[in-house]
Amino acid sequence: MADQDPVFQIQRVYLKEASLEQPNSPAILLEQEQPSVDIQLGVEANPVAEGVYEVAVTATVHTKIKDKTVFLVEAKQAGIFEIRNLG
């Protein structure tokens, strides 16, 4: 029953998306006030083929002073995984 053995393999890992926005530069960088920082994390998984999945982790960091953006950074790291017979 070798075809029923559990399989968990990393096929690929890659940077799917990255962005940086600094819409109020350079003036906002001279502000003396402490910025607020909002960090959001997300995970998603999508089937690619039978027993093969793309899993992505997204991190978004939005830093503001009052109502003005200092910077907005988003990065999505993804991987393709083979997962079979784990249940």
At 4 the pLDDT is: 87
What is the C-alpha to C-alpha distance for residues 63 and 77, in angstroms, rounded to an integer?
A: 21
Q: Length of the chain, please?
A: 87
58: Cβ contacts below 8 Å, ≥ 6 apart: 17, 40, 41, 42, 43, 44, 74, 75, 76
| Model confidence, pTM | 0.81
What is the C-alpha to C-alpha distance for residues 76 and 23, in angstroms, rounded to an integer?
A: 21
In the sheet that holds 7-21, the strands lie side by side as 7-21, 68-84, 52-65, 36-49
pLDDT in tens, the chain (87 residues): 567 899 999 999 999 999 999 999 999 999 999 999 999 999 999 999 999 999 999 999 999 999 999 999 999 999 999 999 887
Domains of the chain: 2-84 (3.10.420.10)
